Amino acid sequence: MGIDDNVAATDALLMVVGSPTDTDVTTLRREIGQVITTLRFRTDAGTDVFADLFDVIRRHGLALPPQVAAALRTIASAEESLVTLDPTFSLIGAAQRSAADITARMLAPDRIADLTKARGSVVAASLGRLPSRFERTTAALADGTFSVRVRPLADPDDRRWLRGRLNDVVVSVVAVGAILAAVLLIVADTGPFVTPRIRLNTLLGFSLALCGFVLGLRSVLKVFTRTDRQARR
């Protein structure tokens, strides 16, 4: 195992599992590196390494295919049975001893040649379809029927941003409206008296003014906290 094992292992893992777009790859590589270090230096490492790997996958929200999860559970069950028969047996150790032979067979010249031929035939078939696709595209351009379909706000982050801005606008409008209504109620010398010196309209006006002030202060604080968060990023 080389110094870049965690990078290669993380890349291989991301090719197998489904990962969210906001996956912290750096942290994922560091945690996988810890699992690899445990596997490298522990002579008694067993299927508990798979449990550590499952924990890393769960913490980062990765979607492990059911087939892979079933295979790992089967390996764990098989080791328990083998250890019952031979307490000194280590499935991880046996896999490490067999890794060199498996890698040599996978990198054999005849296997690589067959794989190259298979991949080459697939690429050749794809290249053979390119002229017809290019002809259809140029014909659509010439006829004026070429179009591009774009979904606005297809990204969840864009929709979240727009929803937040609309919420800020609505809160600001409500705050301004509450303060204006409060001013009108306070200056209007009408309404019944709730105390010998305070009218009902005046009391409602001060209540609306307090609500408008709180809503306006909330909008201002959100602007400053958002700016500080973006500056930290």
DSSP string of 6-35?
HHHHHHHHHHHSB--TT--HHHHHHHHHHH
- pLDDT score for 1: 44
Same domain, 23 and 88: yes
Q: Tens of pLDDT along 156-183?
A: 777 888 888 888 889 889 999 999 999 9
The one-letter amino acid code at 81 reads S
pLDDT exceeds 70 at position 5: no
Residue type, 54: F
Do 142 and 226 fall into the same domain?
A: no
| 130 lies in the same domain as 206 | no
- Asked if 100 and 193 sit in the same domain, the reply is no
What's the average model confidence in pLDDT over 138-148? Answer: 83
Asked whether residue 91 falls in the same domain as residue 72, the answer is: yes
Confidence at residue 233, expressed as pLDDT on a 0 to 100 scale: 52
DSSP H helices, 60-199, are 66-85, 91-106, 109-143, 156-187
Q: Are residues 24 and 62 in the same domain?
A: yes
Q: What domain count does the chain have? A: 3
24 and 37 share one domain = yes
Same domain, 102 and 11: yes
Indicate whether 99 and 161 sit together in one domain.
Answer: no
Q: How much is the mean pLDDT over the chain?
A: 79
CA pair distance 197, 67, nearest whole angstrom? 78
Share of the chain above pLDDT 90, in %: 5
Q: What are phi and psi of 86, to 5 degrees?
A: -140, 100
- Lookup result for tokens 């706000």: 153
Q: What is the CA radius of gyration of the chain?
A: 33
Do 60 and 133 share a domain, yes or no?
Answer: no
Residue with the larger pLDDT of the pair 206 and 49: 206
Same domain, 214 and 141: no
What is the pTM (predicted TM-score) of this model? 0.42
Per-residue pLDDT reduced to its tens digit, 75-131? 777 777 777 787 777 777 777 677 778 778 877 888 888 888 888 888 888 888 888
- Cβ(63)–Cβ(21) below 8 Å: no
- Of 107, 137, 168, the one marking the end of a domain is 107
Instruction: Kindly indicate the confidence band of residue 4, based on its pLDDT and cuts at 50, 70 and 90.
Output: very low
Q: Determine the straight-line distance between the first and last CA of the chain, rounded to whole angstroms.
A: 35
pLDDT at position 14 over 80: no
> Does 116 share its domain with 183?
no
Tell the residue number behind the tokens 């509450």, with chain if given.
Answer: 178
CA angle 74, 64, 50 (to 5 degrees): 50
Residue span of the structural domain in which 179 resides: 156-232
**Distance between CA 77 and CA 83 in Å, rounded?**
10
